Structure 1
């Protein structure tokens, strides 16, 4: 959620820290700051709001130094202001922190009693004072940090520097990601490889409970007991060039337009062009013997799981349960023998999803993950990883990660159906062919961009919006509403179209746009009947359908967008595009921060 960068360098560190923080903006934040070691002491600059405020502050009050730490903060404890911004510091220690210290109140009371003076409302400051307290007791920096880590409860990643020690930085992780970067006479800490991509491609990912001592020549990694560890250093493919906007106004717009390529790339990892069929990798368990598949995710990822439930039950005849990660383990769901749990996460670090994964493991479930970061914690703790090849997704509102997740899940449904013998060779060929057409069909939809932009003018004036869908388009109605809420701040809800008359119809009047995802097919007649009810009450219908569906709807829609006709199986992947474009253009008209909407973060690493 928050972003960390730390550098022990051989050149002025401030420009490098600011560059690293810029690469972390996509994670979401409401303040930013840096600290450097200067003439045996610590110097800090912090600012509320966007990174440009910090840059202006540094220009007004320059600081030097070749060792430093930086942070983008998304507030959990304490208001989003400069006082609460990281880094936090005493006269001996400065640090940045992602996560939550769950026992900070008890620790703060203890430190208050010892005369420590707190300046902020944050949980993070207790870590500064705890380390300082141990330093005052005569412990070395390494001993002080190690002793402190044993006392902390919660999820965290830390980067810590010490006054007078330009050659030392200490990092630690528990439940929140942290990577170590290796340079030539320089060492780095970062929340992810992207934050370090302008500095190095040699990365070591700390494991759960690791803490690391850095100097200019390398890293020493230990576990909480103090045992030395050996973690693999890998060459990462993440490049700083991968995060530019190019000719696009926003990252979200760029990522929408990347979907033909990334869906195609993802599909090619599973599609055998010679056999014209989907070929899954070898699983360490038998797909034919899955008693129940439990799918878990948060937000958009959970909606991808809902679509997959339709696919898996209809085509593979596989029993499926879908749950949101933040609720899953707390209801202590009984999980069956021969059960498999599937976890969906763009970052692979979503803390609720990771906690649910660990619960499922404890219950004896085999674990599949669908992630966009193969080096992530969720991936490393899975029995099987099905990667999405979306590349870095910078916009907070998920677009290309979602459609690549759907692509992977569609391939999995086909593979399980084949393993169980519930899909005939003829049907498998139909489904595989339908999937291979999706990249070109997405391109066709992108050609409707200008039509959707004009329609968004009506939506931007609304206070409330309803989205309707049936079958596997019902989750897409919820996804459309979620996208609109996330980036335009317009209240929106998604419903199964047949449920409208059981409550939501009370909201319908001439000021409420009703957006229908309704391709022609077996459910079209019932959906048209629901839309007639909207029309009769003055609702403004926006219809996404194919040519046949638009013709069938007649003149009840105020706006219609004609989409390509495809097999109903793959329609959810295709219909993701117009709802993304509608949300994007509406947000642009509203003047909101499209890529970094208020109160949201890209990678949610706290519960």
Structure 2
């Protein structure tokens, strides 16, 4: 959600930086700041809580100039939305802005405290700037300090970095969060996306995953994740949000899939305190310890996120959960228990059926909580409580990053309910929370297998029917995988609970039918394997998605395998969503369909 702008220029860069921030306002933010090198070569910064107009007022009161600078709009995650937590963060030697999450900030922070550093904010970002500062203190040059620090940071992030006295040096880095480089006439630029740089240049290059870049007025030097010099294509861009927003990606859907590590990190951090690493929900006006039952209502992909949450809430929080599709819920005239909680999930917050279902519950005296991606939407305004996801604008009709952000929100909520009901031990709670905090980094790892999924797509693109199977919380992932394939590639696909195959659907199995098995090595793994064996015995083409421990149990009869990280089973459904999204995407591209605007579908369904 945060926005980054950087300029190495030949004129006063402050107006350019502020204008760039204005173009990033759509991302949402609650503070803003600018840092430059003044004539003496010293770092100076101005920051303000609230909107950019407050920063502009601060700059009028205390003018700031410079030929090189960085700027940032921050959506509060680690730490309250105040000036001390606003970016840029700085020491005497280095200033930095950051989009994303530093997952190992705690252990690095303890190390830096032991070396005499004194922290001035509540953010994970300050750990990054002080780590680079420590390497400068130890005598490393700026490039080497950044390179060394990047090797120690874990998480999903984008960075822009300035150094005292270095009037022709700006460094950017990308891991799981987008960053664009703009080429001007004697000037160079950094931005969270090309839209921020549109008035300055029509020549853009994008950092690949793991890249870092060194900018001077003469140009850019790119380095890959192994610190090897690389070339990145410089592309002419039309100054149009519709085109610029895709970056290097062919479709919005693919871009949004690749944004998931960053936006999941943003979403987690809005609910998790950096001090105690625990879920702190906004005031929902609801006593979680006293609710008798939970009902989850949603449509489409959001409904499947609710099905996953049912497993989490019932297993970990020990509370009964009902999940219903919004288009059916209110027509049953379901009784509403004032001691229960109804949760409504919608990307847009305007989905007609879901909004109507929520209003039905409110009219009948029930308590309502909404999970939405648009905080000013109708559902957000009308509900008793709101849990906002931080997916940012999602243009592709087939939901990807909004879905995984819903899942991380529901996972955090499930842990909060479990604690309120004293259903988990402190040790188990801490283990599950640690697993959730690691999800963005694991998601970036999953994306590294995209080429394997492209090759797999070629093998199934001509299938007439495809089945997906899973057990437990991966059963909803089978439903979601089938939906994704149907809606963008137009191949008939169905998702089933793996144990239900023998009750009818196994009649569909033959050598022409790919069967995608979603099977992390969890407590249900052996049963899923048994169901997979039933498919292979009948000639089905099994595509097996699992971790290394799971793949060790696979024989040569499988048609293909997809390797995923070994993770705590609690978070597996979040990560396994990514390969099913990518597989559907690549099949659709090969079939030549309109990936971002599939036929007969709309992004937000505002009529019944």
Partner of residue 591, structure 1: 592
Q: 1:258-407, aligned counterparts within 5 Å? A: 258-407=259-408
8 Å CA contact 2:298, 2:344 repeated in 1? yes
Give the Å deviation of 1:423.
Answer: 1.4
Q: Counterparts of 1:155-170 in structure 2 under 5 Å?
A: none
The reply to whether residue 463 of structure 1 matches residue 467 of structure 2 is: no
Cα shift readout 1:260-294 (whole Å, capped 9, x = no counterpart): 00000000001112212222222212111111111
Q: Match for residue 510 of structure 1?
A: 511
Aligned-residue offset at 1:240 = 5.0
SS at match of 2:317: coil
Q: CA deviation at 1:377?
A: 0.2
Unmatched 5+ stretches in structure 1: 1-193, 199-238
Alignment of 1:97-176 (within 5 A): none
Query: Counterpart of 1:541 in 2: which secondary structure?
Result: strand
Q: Per-residue deviation at 1:554?
A: 2.3
Structure 1 residue 243, shift from structure 2 partner: 6.9
Q: SS of the residue aligned with 1:594?
A: coil
1:47-86 aligned at under 5 Å gives the runs: none
Tell me the CA shift for residue 464 of structure 1. Answer: 0.2
What is the distance in 2 between the residues matched to 1:280 and 1:343? 16
Contact residue 536 and residue 557 of structure 2 kept, 8 A: yes
Alpha carbons of 1:268 and 1:360: their partners in 2 closer, same or farther (altered >3 Å)?
same
User: Residues of 2 paired with 1:305 and 1:393: CA distance?
Assistant: 19
In structure 1, the partner of 2:536 is 535
Shift in Å, 1:242: 10
**CA displacement, residues 553-583 of structure 1 (integer Å, 9 cap, x when unaligned):** 2223110011001111101100000000000
* Deviation for aligned residue 1:356: 0.3
Once the two structures are TM-superposed, the CA of residue 414 in structure 1 deviates from its matched residue by 0.3
Question: Alignment partner of 1:598: what SS?
Answer: coil
CA distance in 1, matches of 2:556, 2:335: 50
Looking at structure 2, the residues matched to 583 and 352 of structure 1 have their Cα atoms a distance apart, in angstroms, of 27
Query: Structure 1: how far apart are the matches of 2:394 and 2:572?
Result: 23
**Aligned residue for 2:430?**
429
State the Cα RMSD in Å. Answer: 1.7
* SS of equivalent to 1:467: strand
Structure 2: distance between partners of 1:335 and 1:323: 14
For residues 392 and 339 of structure 1, the distance between their equivalents in structure 2, rounded to whole angstroms, comes to 32
Query: Does the CA contact (< 8 Å) of 2:317 and 2:414 recur in 1?
Result: yes
- Which string of whole-angstrom CA distances, capped at 9 and with x for unpartnered residues, describes residues 97-116 of structure 1? xxxxxxxxxxxxxxxxxxxx
Contact 1:291-1:337 at 8 Å conserved across structures: no
User: Cα–Cα, structure 1 residues 297 and 242, in superposed 2: closer, same or farther, change >3 Å?
Assistant: farther
Judge conservation of contact 2:371–2:387 (CA < 8 Å) in 1.
yes
1:445 aligns with 446
SS, match of residue 443 in structure 1: helix
**CA deviation after TM superposition for structure 1 residue 503, in Å:** 0.7
Once the two structures are TM-superposed, the CA of residue 241 in structure 1 deviates from its matched residue by 8.4
Q: Secondary structure at the match of 2:250?
A: coil
Q: Distance in 2 between matches of 1:276 and 1:605?
A: 38
| Structure 2, gaps ≥5 residues long | 1-194, 200-239
Aligned to 1:466, the other structure's residue is in SS state: strand
Structure 2 CA distance, aligned partners of 1:295 and 1:312?
11
Secondary structure at the aligned position of 2:484 is classed as helix
Q: 1:487: which partner in 2?
A: 488
Counterpart contact for 1:242–1:392, Cα < 8 Å: no
The answer to whether the Cα contact below 8 Å between 1:243 and 1:392 also exists between their aligned partners in 2 is no
* Distance in 1 separating the partners of 2:262 and 2:535: 37
In 2: Cα distance, 1:353 partner to 1:243 partner: 32
Q: CA deviation at 1:413?
A: 0.2
User: What are the equivalent positions in structure 2 for 1:20-35 lying under 5 Å apart?
Assistant: none
Q: What per-residue deviation string (whole Å, max 9, x for no partner) do you get for residues 170-216 of structure 1? A: xxxxxxxxxxxxxxxxxxxxxxxx9xxx9xxxxxxxxxxxxxxxxxx
Q: Deviations over 1:464-505 (max 9, x none)?
A: 000000000000000000000000000000000000011110
Q: Single out whichever of 390-399 and 362-371 deviates more from structure 2.
A: 362-371
Q: Distance in 1 between matches of 2:424 and 2:527?
A: 27
Q: 1:37 maps to which residue? A: none
Cα distance change on mapping 1:336 and 1:259 into 2, 3 Å: same
SS at match of 2:295: strand
SS in structure 2 of the partner of residue 287 of structure 1: coil
1:519 alignment counterpart: 520
Secondary structure of 2:582's counterpart equals: helix
3-state SS of paired residue (1:269): helix
CA distance in 2 between counterparts of 1:598 and 1:282 reads 41
> What CA distance in whole angstroms lies between the structure 1 residues aligned with 2:591 and 2:502?
31
Q: Residue deviations 1:429-454, cap 9 Å, x none?
A: 01110001100100111011000100
Does the residue aligned with 2:552 lie in a helix, a strand or coil? helix
Structure 1 residues 570 and 243: CA distance shift in structure 2, 3 A: farther
**2:84 corresponding residue in structure 1:** none
1:568 is aligned to 569
2:128 match: none
Q: Relative to structure 1, is the Cα distance of residues 507 and 365 closer, same or farther in structure 2, using a 3 angstrom cutoff? A: same
Kept after mapping to 2: 8 A contact 1:532/1:556: no
1:307 and 1:353 mapped to 2: Cα distance?
A: 18
**Aligned counterparts of 1:442 and 1:568: Cα–Cα separation in 2:** 14
Is the CA contact 2:284–2:369 (under 8 Å) kept in the aligned structure 1?
no
Verify the 8 A CA contact 1:296 1:343 in the aligned structure 2. yes
Tell me the secondary structure at the aligned position of residue 442 of structure 1.
helix
Flag the structure with more relative contact order, 1 or 2, with Cα contacts below 8 A and sequence separation at least 6: 1
CA distance in 1, matches of 2:595, 2:526: 36
Cα distance in 1 for partners of 2:300, 2:243 equals 25
In 2, the alpha carbon distance for the partners of 1:314 and 1:362 equals 31
Is 1:416 paired with 2:395?
Answer: no
* C-alpha contact (below 8 Å) 1:243/1:394 kept by paired residues: no
Q: Secondary structure of the residue that 2:289 maps to in structure 1?
A: helix
Partner of 2:16: none
Alignment partners' CA distance in 1, 2:442 and 2:261: 8
